[in-house]
Each structure stands twice: as structure tokens, then as C-alpha cells.
Amino acid sequence: MSYIGILEYVIGVIHDKDIWYYVGEKDANGKHLRTDERYSSFLVDAKRYDDEDVLRWELEKLPKTLTCKILEIQRCPKCKKEFTEHPALSREDNATEICPQCGVREAVEVYARYNKAS
């Protein structure tokens, strides 16, 4: 499955310093979820929206006490993993946006190469 070109969104809920993802009111089988089951720390559990209007409408229904954030799902061209964090710029061409983990990995590789050369 490829999402290239299709942008999907999830709802993130700020919980202390972490982000939880909104799972929805029901599970895949249509069973109503308890309030504490509606949020997950795993992106894979998150309810995905490809329509921003639908997302905003659902956002309105969430408790006002929650700090919510609309998150874009991006796919890292390097490791092919999905992520919602702010992307890093690849050092290879200074243009490609990659996931933060790959950004760190590239930085370490550059550092290792530099140390070997000197």
C-alpha cells in the first residue's frame, strides 16, 4: 500500500509531554470504546482521516479539556515508516524531508565519516 500523494491526518492529544492518538469512538468491529480506550500512544491505532473537514467536525465533539492537534501522516522516503513529527531535512540533498530518526542516523553517519577522514 502506498500513500504517496494522499495525505492522511490523525488527531493527536497532548498528554503531559507525550502525544496520544485518537482512536475513535468505536473499534474496527463497531464496538463502543470506553473513554480511556479512545486514545493510544501508537500511531498504528490512530483513526485516520483523509478529509480535513470530517476531522475538524470530530475534533469539535472531543472534550474541550483536551489539548488536541491535527497531525499529518507522512511517509519517510528512506525507511518507509510513517511518522507525524516534524520532518528532518536529508543531508544528502538538503531538500528531501525524512523522519526524525533517519535525520539523527544521517547526522551520526556524517560525523563518523568526518572522524575517519581526519
Residues at the contact surface with Zn ion, assessed by CB under 5 A = 76, 78-79, 99, 102
Give the nearer residue to Zn ion in terms of CB position, either 40 or 90.
90
Give the nearer residue to Zn ion in terms of CB position, either 73 or 76.
76
Cα distances (angstroms) measured from residue 61 to each of 8, 25, 65, 66, 70: 20, 11, 11, 11, 14
CB-facing half-sphere around the CA of 94: CA atoms within 13 A? 0
The CB-of-92 to Zn ion minimum distance in angstroms stands at 12
The CB-of-93 to Zn ion minimum distance in angstroms stands at 15
The CB-of-90 to Zn ion minimum distance in angstroms stands at 9
CB-facing half-sphere around the CA of 81: CA atoms within 13 A? 12
Name the one residue in this structure whose C-alpha cell is 577522514. 117
Give the nearer residue to Zn ion in terms of CB position, either 67 or 77.
77
